[in-house]
Amino acid sequence: MRQIDHFISGGAGTSPVRFGDIMDPNNGGVQARVALGDAAVLERAVQAALAAQPAWATTNPQRRARVMFEFKRLVEANMDELAHMLSAEHGKVIADSKGDIQRGLEVIEFCCGIPHVMKGEYSQGAGPGIDVYSIRQPMGIGAGITPFNFPAMIPLWMSGPAIATGNAFIIKPSERDPSVPVRLAELFIEAGLPEGICQVVHGDKEMVDAILDHPAISAVSFVGSSDIAHYVYHRGVASGKRVQAMGGAKNHGIVMPDADLDQVVNDLTGAAFGSAGERCMALPVVVPVGDDTAERLKAKLIPAIEALRVGVSTDAEAHYGPVVTAQHKAKVEGWIQTCVDEGGELIIDGRGFKLQGHEEGYFIGPTLFDHVTTDMESYKEEIFGPVLQMVRAASFEEALALPSKHQYGNGVAIFTRNGHAAREFVSRVNVGMVGINVPIPVPVAYHSFGGWKRSGFGDTDQYGMEGIKFWTKVKKITQRWPDGSPDAGNAFIIPTMG
């Protein structure tokens, strides 16, 4: 059986003692096993990073950029291999896997400009003969703890800025689909990155805790559920680390009465059900404003949802594939039943979906609820599956309040032709990322990604200039070159620039 090992100092790790099963979501069988590491495994990676990072930090940024350029070329050349590898373990369809890789690669493209974004600031003549300037330096060793739902994009979001700025970087991917991060680390070496600068260690909570506690790791980036994000943030900070921890989401799509409903339905079906709803930027809640809007929207949604094709990850005609594990399938179906029990009107029930020839696969059909209310637990919590809940609002103000008051504040979208309504919504909504007629408002790579409230812990976002800020520390220098005429009388007075 295929075995996924750690990737330490440019090669496979050794002596694994624990393993986890990697399932095939399309048929329910075990397709591989992954080594689960511990503090000893992490220590080997840290020692390799400590040996390699000082020289990488002093490599000029233009040469580091050249590695990024070559890495980008190699990922593009191996796109088909990576996409099939990703789909085989995650279950998302091939086209979606390629999108996963491409969105991560766009961050690498941004990192190709690292010589520019690493420039500091300079003030000549800040005082008599005094210049003040600042420089950005790497943190040292960083680590990324990444989720199962984007096994290429999120490791690239983290590793690109961390490595380009001169850090060594250790990835701890999800043990459910770990192959792509290992292959990406191999491609980094092939692109010219020194051994020890990008490494991959596998594991469960034992490895996570080892990362959070290790004194040589200066910064940790995490994406996952909010409860774990909260844990990672507080334990990491308590260990003296810089931590950014992105959590869960319950993104809302506000549909105003003047919205183009045909476009809304097209956007909603993709945003709610694409990748089987396993996205933190999915749109699982739709909020039509007014009952007339709700009825017109529902009449168009039902046939569109019923026409969705669920298939294996290699089915080019499928809109989405299976969820990642049997346990996750059971969890999502449990939330569907909870919503029924709470009084939600089940319009389309995706439970019990069976794909011929793949009856043991982890498939869930698309599910639609109407008349969901804010007191329902199924509304309050993240379902993370192909389930769309309709929450009706009587007015713009009521619709605005729903995402603003929700515990999560990752993303939100408003669909309207009214520029004033959109502008008012953007100004007032208490959510970190907003789309106007854009259902999945993930910012481009030269901006930054991050939510508010329980969707994000820490004060910096992913990638873009926020990513550069996170993976570097600023050193401030005040310099003077004496002219041979010391002013001894002022030596004991606090310096001023007057």
Q: Does residue 373 carry a pLDDT above 90?
A: yes
CA distances from 8 to 184, 314, 337, 490 (A): 13, 32, 45, 56
Whose CA is closest to 254, among 280, 286, 228? 286
Q: Does residue 488 carry a pLDDT above 60?
A: no
The reported pTM is 0.95
Give the confidence band of 493 by pLDDT, cuts at 50, 70, 90: low
Q: Does residue 87 carry a pLDDT above 60?
A: yes
Q: What is the pLDDT of residue 484?
A: 74
**E strand or H helix at 282, and its extent?**
none
Q: What is the pLDDT of residue 483?
A: 78
Whose CA is closest to 24, among 112, 104, 90? 90
Beta-carbon neighbour count of residue 349 at 10 Å? 16
Provide CB contacts within 8 A for 346, sequence distance 6+.
Answer: 336, 339, 340, 367, 368, 369
> pLDDT tens across 428-462, in order?
999 999 999 999 999 999 999 999 999 999 999 99
Catalytic site positions: 280
Mean pLDDT, all residues of the chain: 96
> pLDDT tens across 378-425, in order?
999 999 999 999 999 999 999 999 999 999 999 999 999 999 999 999
Contact (CB, 8 A) for 294 and 288: yes
Provide CB contacts within 8 A for 194, sequence distance 6+.
Answer: 52, 55, 56
Q: How far apart are CA 125 and CA 136, in angstroms?
A: 21
What's the whole-number mean pLDDT along residues 262-291? 97
Q: What is the pLDDT of residue 10?
A: 82
Provide CB contacts within 8 A for 477, sequence distance 6+.
Answer: 132, 133, 134, 135
For the chain, domains (ranges, CATH) are 2-247+455-477 (3.40.605.10), 252-436 (3.40.309.10)
